[in-house]
Structure 1
Amino acid sequence: MSKKLVEELYVPHVKEARERLQTHPALKALLDPKVDPALVEGFLIQLNSLGVYMTEPVDGWIRRAGEATVKLGLVEVGEKLTQHAKHEEGHHLMMIEDTKSLVARWNKHRKPHLNAEALIAQTPTQAMKDYRAIHEETIVGPMPAAQVAIEYEIENLSVVFAPGLMAQAKRVLGDDIMEAMSFVKEHAEIDVGHTALNEYMLGKLLGQVPEKAAIIGRTGARALEIYLNFMADCVAHAEQMLKSAAA
């Protein structure tokens, strides 16, 4: 029943955003069979270094959203969010380590030589700021439980996009690249379970407040759009790295 509610009340709101994952020019270029291997390597460096800013606050966002959801009387969904927050603690540390490994690998055979700490300290892009903002706005807004939709879309992204990214990285950079992709690899694996949990929570939520389906759906769609913009920023930063190398 919960899956049916998600399909009927929620999915129509996110359908267009999900389709952009297949059509976005930057992401298509990244997965192109004729891609420059340096672009893929640069993308991974940017995804992890810039991703620290995106990922470090996640467990706090989920916990606060869960607490606010319980206060609204949606106890089961709120408590599951609070429990889920514990699984997200410290994931940004994996991105820091992957950044260091990827930078060391890049510096062995490419230019310009990079500095991991400087990359992590880069000025946030607009998409990165928007990503933090949508979480904060959701937590203090009328439907903090819409955090479930954010989690659903972003963790599902790991399930549907990460396998193709890993396959491309291994194809153009060699199997050893996986040693520096611990964050992507782990999330491709564990987010299968997280996505199933999120779908259950989303169905439970829609069963309790079906009249809020639109705001919940729009929140999920907006979060996914922002994250796609972030990944496009990572591609653009990687392209700039290649231009610097060629200069």
Structure 2
Amino acid sequence: MTLIQTHYLPHALPTRARLDTEPVVRELLSPDISPDLMARFLIEWSARGAYMTEPVDGWIRGAGERCIALGQEKVGRQLITHAKHEAGHHLMTIADARVLTARWNAGHSRKLDADALVAQAPTAAMREYRQVHDEAITGDLPLGQAAIEYEVGYLAVVLVPRILARVREVVGQETLDSLTFLREHAEVDVGHTALNERMMEGLLGTHPEEGPRLASFGSRGLDCYLRFLADCMDAARRSLEGVTAVAA
């Protein structure tokens, strides 16, 4: 067994298990979800996702620089190289939000403004998601950043494909094709997960006692992301109920 399996995963599994039990996940995968609710949720996920993804390259680069400062040169250089591949990905979520919103507006009398949706104030879960990253990269365990990415990457490769399959069934291939950010990350995060696993395995080889702390960072990040998805669903439902909507 690997050190990840013995020293990390036992502490991360309780939060991972919520990928099967969270109400928002169950609703998204339900055969009863309406096309309008699914479509409206995807707009919120894409629009609000810009806030969640814009700092990613800076977080990874910051973790790398912090590793180098702490004498972990090899890992630090790996992170800095990895950061270059994440730059500008929030622009994909914004572009997706605009395409999805235009499709919504073409079929609904109540129009939505994609840019206003992107500019919405962040929820508590969204703010905490940024906070946990900042804590990791400024502390004495910068690979906590890799643990966060490891857990959110797990969601991307395990849960997102299941959601995308439901998207195709509920709202069709055209909408699925518009989700460029989600589709890409469901594929490329397999490689990112492997990289993060190697880096954490290396750390655990010399500091096995750090397993619980790494898992704590990862689990906090995943918890925030699951609550973020619930926020997107709540916003979508409120909009459909007419409680709040961003009108053009």
What TM-score comes out, normalization by structure 1 length? 0.95
Match of 2:22 in 1: 24
How far did residue 214 of structure 1 move? 1.5
Match of 1:151 in 2: 149
Match of 1:167 in 2: 165
Runs of 4+ in 1 over 4 A off after TM superposition: none
Whether 2:97 is the aligned partner of 1:99: answer yes
Match of 1:134 in 2: 132
Q: Which has the higher helix share?
A: 1
Tell me, in whole angstroms, the C-alpha distance in 1 between the residues paired with 2:114 and 2:125: 21
| Deviation digits for residues 182-203 of structure 1 (CA, Å, limit 9, x no counterpart) | 0000001111111111111111
Structure 1: tracts of 5 or more residues without a match? none
C-alpha change, 1:18 and 1:38, in structure 2 (3 Å) is same
Q: Secondary structure at the match of 2:159?
A: helix
Deviation larger for 114-123 or 210-219:
210-219
- Percent identity at matched positions? 47
Aligned equivalent of 2:234, options 227, 233, 236: 236
Aligned equivalent of 2:10, options 9, 12, 15: 12
Deviation larger for 20-29 or 106-115:
106-115
Whether the 8 Å contact between 2:238 and 2:244 is mirrored in structure 1 is no
| Deviation digits for residues 43-62 of structure 1 (CA, Å, limit 9, x no counterpart) | 11011100101110110011
Tell me, in whole angstroms, the C-alpha distance in 1 between the residues paired with 2:96 and 2:199: 31
Aligned equivalent of 2:83, options 82, 85, 92: 85
Tell me, in whole angstroms, the C-alpha distance in 2 between the residues paired with 1:191 and 1:152: 9
| Deviation digits for residues 160-219 of structure 1 (CA, Å, limit 9, x no counterpart) | 111111111110111111231000000011111111111111111211221211111111
C-alpha change, 1:222 and 1:111, in structure 2 (3 Å) is farther
Structure 2: tracts of 5 or more residues without a match? none
Q: Secondary structure at the match of 1:119?
A: helix
Whether the 8 Å contact between 1:111 and 1:245 is mirrored in structure 2 is no
Alpha-carbon RMSD: 1.5
How far did residue 37 of structure 1 move? 1.1
Tell me, in whole angstroms, the C-alpha distance in 2 between the residues paired with 1:200 and 1:38: 42
| Deviation digits for residues 81-139 of structure 1 (CA, Å, limit 9, x no counterpart) | 11111110000000010000000011111242100010001010000100111111111
Match of 1:66 in 2: 64
Whether the 8 Å contact between 1:59 and 1:89 is mirrored in structure 2 is yes
Counterpart residue identity of residue 56, structure 1:
E
Q: State how many pairs are aligned.
A: 245
Match of 1:193 in 2: 191
Match of 1:113 in 2: 111
